[in-house]
Amino acid sequence: MSTQMPAVLVLGGTSEARLLAERLVREFSGSLRVISSLAGRTAEPVPLAGEVRRGGFGGAAGLERYLRELRPRALIDATHPFAAVISRNAAAAAAAAAVPRLVLARPPWQPTKGDRWIEVADASAAATALGAFGPRVWLTLGGTDVAAFSGLTDRWFLIRRVDPPTAVLPLAQAELILARGPFRLEDERRLIAAHRPDVLVCRASGGAATAPKLEAAREAGLPVIMICRPPPPPGPTVENPGQVVEWLRSRLGP
Ligand SMILES: NC(=O)c1ccc[n+]([C@@H]2O[C@H](COP(=O)([O-])OP(=O)(O)OC[C@H]3O[C@@H](n4cnc5c(N)ncnc54)[C@H](OP(=O)(O)O)[C@@H]3O)[C@@H](O)[C@H]2O)c1
């Protein structure tokens, strides 16, 4: 593929970003290089359509430099709703390098009848809220957020990860399961039946890939401590890959 071809840069690491790369390669084949950027946290990420670069840029200044060199026609921020740092950097760098930016953000989940959600601001508020529940906790949080629960030595935690943690979990009592989503409702029902948690702690990530745990929790009458999203990135925002294609077509022409 010619490196002279104009590019679109997708900041990824989510299933929506993977679907977007697939869609962009299909729709703009021969006219646009589709480059996905991954932080490099997952040892063996699911293969992506188009080109892939891995690793941080070196802050907003590094991303700005990268954008000035690549001169992409657009930057699509399709990162996870809780990946606030890269989104902030993307907003600053795209503005500085005058690259049009669009946010692809999955809609948040909405509670339905039978849900018992307790909404909290962050992981340490979630740890405090656990005081009202039994000792067995299904904790579906990533990396460093787990540290907020380290003082709860009388609680038992069930943790599920894609890759083995690089450091020992800072929890007195924990069981680790290695598995990669998306998880089906049957998987989540089985997990609840096998481990009998008293409460589920999760983030308001939204998206289909991890929603079945909420349905299984509802069925089992399990309370859910839901950590709210950080403020969304500024600027134009869409909810699905099709809307990104429309936005790009409106800027690039047919
Ligand atoms: N946070 C989550 O819960 C979550 C869940 C699922 C997937 N992810 C994905 O995992 C990645 C890392 O998440 P995070 O919460 O650690 O992000 P973060 O806290 O917002 O970002 C931390 C640093 O990681 C690098 N980075 C993040 N996303 C990148 C990307 N797509 N391409 C290149 N560098 C990236 C940047 O390093 P530099 O400053 O050096 O550029 C950034 O400053 C994101 O791409 C996100 O979409 C996150």
**CA distance readout (Å), 41 to 13, 45, 163:** 9, 9, 9
Q: State the burial class of residue 11 (Cβ atoms within 10 Å of its Cβ: 0-12, 13-18, 19+).
A: buried
Looking at residue 165, its pLDDT comes to 86
pTM: 0.90
CA distance 85 to 88: 5
* 47-51, 206-210, 223-227: segment of lowest average pLDDT: 206-210
CA distance 86 to 57: 9
Scanning the structure block, which residue is given the tokens 């839901």?
A: 226
Tell me: pLDDT of 1 over 60: no
Scanning the structure block, which residue is given the tokens 């629960």?
A: 149
Tell me: pLDDT of 179 over 60: yes
**How many A from CA of 62 to the centre of ligand 1?**
14
Q: For the chain, which domains are there?
A: 7-107+231-252 (3.40.50.720), 117-227 (3.40.50.720)
**Strands of 173-178's sheet, edge to edge?**
117-120, 224-227, 199-203, 136-139, 156-161, 173-178
The token pair that represents 201 in the structure block:
């702690």
Q: What are phi and psi of 159, to 5 degrees?
A: -125, 135
Tell me: pLDDT of 5 over 50: yes
Pocket of ligand 1 (CB under 6 A): 11-14, 37-39, 41, 56-59, 62-63, 79-80, 82-86, 89, 142
Report the length, in residues, of the chain: 254
Give the DSSP H/E element, type plus range, for residue 250.
helix 241-252
Out of 64, 86, 139, mutate this one to test ligand 1's pocket (max ligand atoms within 8 Å of CB): namely 86
